[in-house]
Amino acid sequence: MKSIRLIDGKKLTVKILSFVSACMATLGLAVTLGSAGQNKLLQGELFFIPICVIWYVLYKKRYMRKHTVPFYIFTIVFSLLFSSSFILGIYLDQNRLGGTFHIIVKSILLTTFWYPLIAFLTDWIENGSEKYVTSLQMEKKKLYICFFLVAVIWFIGWLALFPGVYGIDAPTWYEMWSQTDAPVSSQWSVLISGLFYFFTSLGVRYFDSPEIGFGIYSFLQMTFVLFVVWKILLFLNERLGKKAVIVGAIFFAFVPTHMIMAVSAAQDALFAACFAMCCIELFHIFEKPDEYWKEKRNIARFLFWMSLMCIIRNNGLYAIFVMAVLAVFFLKHSTKFFFGSIAIVTIIVFLYQGPVYNLLHVQKGTAIREMLSIPLEQMAAAYNYDDSLSDSLKEQMEQYVSEENMYKYALKNSDPIKNNFNVEKLNESPVDFVKLYFQVGIAAPKSYIYGALMQTYGLWYADKEYPDALIWHPYINYICIDAKQIWGENALEIKRESLFPAYERVLRKLFGYGEDTSGYGGSLQTDFVNIPFLSTACRMGTYFWIVIYIAGYGLYKKWKEQYLIVLLAIGLTLTVLLSPLMYYRYYAPVIFSMPVILTLLFRSKKNNESTIPQEDAL
């Protein structure tokens, strides 16, 4: 009789806790919608009744099921971080910050909304995902068909955007390579800018048409990226099977940003492709580390993709350094081979940036300005917004950035400040600058927090609103810029000559229409934000939080070698967080590689066989 009462008491407690949690979750959703200005939804109270009922059922199932302490720590902490990012993002999108107390309360309330969903997702990944995600391998013929469909859709996109997306940096690439009396700058990838100039100049020389030359360049670049798409589909087929191939094909075919990037005059398309291949190589290392390093062709492949990624963009080298430093805590097998290969990659890159640069008379740029984007934005925010800042500190700051340029401070874009930063003064005494940075931070902590959040939230806020004129650039580069409008009458002009105008109009409506053709059109309209699923698939914040989730899940499950892939993604994410502004192409490598990264959740254990059975094995 006593045990029956205990059981009844436990059931009653679960019901009460579930009801209270469901009410808090519903209130959290209502408060969030109210903060976001969704007042029409708030006027219909009936909308919240089914939400409360559903969350009551979810919480009841949660409370009836027991988990380990690490499970609760991971799911609760992630839910809180994710919820806090939503509340902060809503305020920052409105160029304001609420009181600390209000932000904390709203974040906790929203956490009660997200927690059961995150817990169920984690539970499903741990215990039930394999039978739903993995399947037999797709037949090679069907695999070719899936890839062919992606390639056809991309080819149609290339025709629609012909000759490609002529971006803001491309006119400078052409000019610096065409002038024999001026050095080529390493501010941009020497390899990519040189290839762009080579093909575009061929078009000018033989066809009197830079459009034809650029069209050839964009087509070849797209072909290279498609080769990597094929490798990814092949990887998904071998590791997860036909279901994953279909999802991957849909991801690459129907999220147009991949195709747009592939035909753009930007170094990020090839950088993203190389990043994905590096992730695949790291996956091979995780599966069979000792066997991987025994094969010379594997080592050659590893060195090739890692080196090429770093040669295209320095961000790749920084991401590798982050991975290598943190790998000490996770790598347990063949450490000498791994760290030795990283050392060789570093030597190759330094040789390329040394003797090869000298041979080509390349003028080395300084990366320190870009690396200091966040600190400089914080200091500029304090200079402009904090009246309590002493004149002495302001005078010291003006030694690095003049008073006139300090007043050019722009939210969300560090270019006006970092472009006018006195690097020579920094080189005289870096310690003095570091001291000044902390002194200003102690004097104006709120400005530092505000400056850092405003600079970075475009990456971590999953519901970021676009267009955003304050970043000065389109979120996704889509138009062919009017180069003469910015760079003068002598700038190379490339105009769009669409060979599929109907599709071009659709893409323009989604990713950039308006009167501003300067390339700095941050106010160009982008209707993709209004389309469910597509908006989620195109926002950086979606992929940022997937990386954070996988990183947390890996710590919770005590991953070892497989964490290398996560570390590379984290390294790239850190470089983007330190970037002058937040827009799509900077985070494109992680977005493009997401099918490979997600595979970790479903193939995180070592297998005797790295591939699953084939479909025709039946």
- Of 439, 460, 481, the position where a domain reaches its end is 460
Q: Is residue 382 part of a domain?
A: yes
User: Which position has the higher pLDDT, 386 or 435?
Assistant: 435
The shares of helix, strand and coil residues in the chain, as percent rounded to the nearest 5, are: 70, 0, 25
* Cα angle: 157, vertex 466, 579; to 5 degrees: 90
Provide CB contacts within 8 A for 455, sequence distance 6+: 373, 374, 377, 411, 412, 414, 581, 582
Q: Is residue 240 part of a domain?
A: no
Q: Is residue 51 part of a domain?
A: yes
| Cα pseudo-dihedral 249, 251, 254, 256, rounded to 10 | -120
pLDDT above 90: residue 536: yes
Query: Which of 501, 505, 523 is closest to 514 using CA atoms?
Result: 523
Q: Is residue 110 part of a domain?
A: yes
- Report which DSSP code applies to 479: S
- Of 127, 151, 166, the position where a domain reaches its end is 127
Strand partners, 184: 362
Q: What is the pLDDT of residues 565-603, one digit of tens each?
A: 999 999 999 999 999 888 899 999 999 999 999 999 987
CB 167 within 8 A of CB 478: no
Q: Is residue 288 part of a domain?
A: no
Q: Is residue 317 part of a domain?
A: no
Query: Which of 298, 267, 259, 260 is closest to 280 using CA atoms?
Result: 298
Q: Is residue 64 part of a domain?
A: yes
Strand partners, 122: none
Three-class DSSP category at 165? strand
Sign of the four-CA dihedral 263, 267, 272, 277:
positive
Residue in the block written with tokens 């996956």: 283
Mean pLDDT of the chain: 89
How large is the greatest C-alpha to C-alpha distance in the chain, in angstroms? 96
Q: Is residue 574 part of a domain?
A: no
pLDDT above 60: residue 35: yes
Poorest-pLDDT segment among 130-134, 263-267, 485-489, 510-514: 130-134
Number of domains, the chain = 2
Alpha helices in 468-539 (DSSP H): 483-487, 501-511, 534-538
- Of 431, 460, 489, the position where a domain reaches its end is 460
Q: What is the pLDDT of residues 284-313, one digit of tens each?
A: 999 988 899 999 999 999 999 999 999 999
Cis ω for the linkage preceding 183 (within 30 of 0) = no
Poorest-pLDDT segment among 244-248, 331-335, 536-540: 331-335
Structural domain boundaries enclosing 391: 368-460
